[in-house]
Amino acid sequence: MKHDRRTELETAHWKGRTRPYDLIKEGVAALVIITVLVAALSTLFGSPDDKQITFKQWAVAAPSDFYATAVQELAGSSGTAGYGAPYNTASDGVNLGPLHLAKFMGVTHPVDTVNDFVITPLTTVVNSGPVATALKQWQSSDSKTQSTWATNYDNALTKVNQDATKVPTGNYGPVPLLAQGLLTMAEAGSLDGALLSQGNYFQTDNTKQTLFLGDGNYFNDQSTASNLQGNTWGMMNETGRYPGQAWLWLYSFWYQIPPFNNGDNHPFGANADAWIMLIMGALSLGLICMPLIPGVRSLPYKIPIHRLVWKNFYQEENL
């Protein structure tokens, strides 16, 4: 009964002492003060804006890495080629126990690394004689032969630490020339547009560019240098000396601790992305429903921080 009476009193319109108040004045004052503070910080510090990485930049700065990545795309050994849903069916992807949610949702953004990343872009430019011949040879061959050539060359290149000059002769078909053709195209700056457009005029989807960029080491090295990797709280960091998305600290936190920081740990580390999304979904729901959670909802009564908040009122009312 006492509980009901307390709720009734807390619900009812306040009948105790009041003080003058002007909501509009408070709002306008807050808006002016915040605007001035924000303008001051903007003038003093500006905002982060590290230039985007282009394929031209990658190809010029790290040609061996670009070349090897192009070969991996042809051989189907790149990260994207073996990713699974939503890009392809090469693997089942991560799981939550028996649940393969990505696989269940299917291939909604199909990516064919051979054609989307290498062959189609090469067909959009006038290639040199050898590259044009190589392209014809590739396109007139069956997929089994193409796969054999690309895998042979990918393995050979890996063995010599991606140094194409040291690859022994072998059954590679046109693969070295195709990779060289794509490198030349990237160095000239024409691959960026070709990857985005994929034969269309209007295009706003950067999925293929981003995936290709991420398959190489260059992009990852740049992010490591900027402390943006997941194992260094990457999602909440920002380039330069600027605050990032600090509100993602709890999401990033899980990636720093066992078992989620060990990709070899099964089932949690190897499927960390899915488990952490699940944990964060549950915690977000917990935040929204916090007043309904026994124990948690009692904390404000057990740890009386409210005595500090309403210190003056309690003193004035002898409470």
Partner 1 sequence: MWTTRLREGWQNNLPVDKLLPDTQPAYVASWIYMFGVATLASLGVIIGSGLWLAFEGASWYHYSNVGHFVNSMHFWSVQFFFVFMVVHLWGKFWMAAWRGRRLLTWVTGAIAFVASIATAFTGYLIQTNFDSQWISYEAKDGFNSVGIGSRFNVTNFGQMILLHVAFLPLVLGVITVIHVLMVRARGVVPPIDAFNKELGDRS
Closer of 45 and 159 to partner 1 (Cβ): 45
Gyration radius of the chain over CA positions: 29
Q: Are 55 and 192 in contact (CB under 8 A)?
A: yes
Instruction: Report the alpha-carbon distance of residue 81 to residue 42 in Å, rounded.
Output: 43
Closer of 136 and 249 to partner 1 (Cβ): 249
Question: Between the CA of residue 256 and those of 130, 229, 231, what are the distances in Å?
Answer: 49, 11, 6
User: How far apart, in Å, do the first and last CA atoms of the chain sit?
Assistant: 22
Q: How far is the CB of 258 from partner 1 (least distance, A)?
A: 19
Closer of 40 and 160 to partner 1 (Cβ): 40
Q: Are 238 and 48 in contact (CB under 8 A)?
A: yes
Q: How far is the CB of 205 from partner 1 (least distance, A)?
A: 5
Q: Are 215 and 73 in contact (CB under 8 A)?
A: yes
Q: Output the six-digit token pair for 130.
A: 């050898």
Q: How far is the CB of 112 from partner 1 (least distance, A)?
A: 16
Query: Of 112, 167, 168, 122, which is closest to residue 143 (Cα–Cα)?
Result: 112
Q: How far is the CB of 223 from partner 1 (least distance, A)?
A: 5
Closer of 78 and 184 to partner 1 (Cβ): 78
Residue-level length of the chain? 319
Q: How far is the CB of 273 from partner 1 (least distance, A)?
A: 4
φ and ψ of 96, to 5 deg: -115, 90
Q: How far is the CB of 220 from partner 1 (least distance, A)?
A: 9
Instruction: Report the alpha-carbon distance of residue 86 to residue 84 in Å, rounded.
Output: 6
Q: How far is the CB of 195 from partner 1 (least distance, A)?
A: 12
Closer of 170 and 313 to partner 1 (Cβ): 313
DSSP letter, residue 172: -
Closer of 133 and 298 to partner 1 (Cβ): 298
Closer of 22 and 264 to partner 1 (Cβ): 22
Q: CA-CA-CA-CA torsion for 277, 98, 81, 238, nearest 10 degrees? A: 10
Q: Output the six-digit token pair for 272.
A: 């960390």
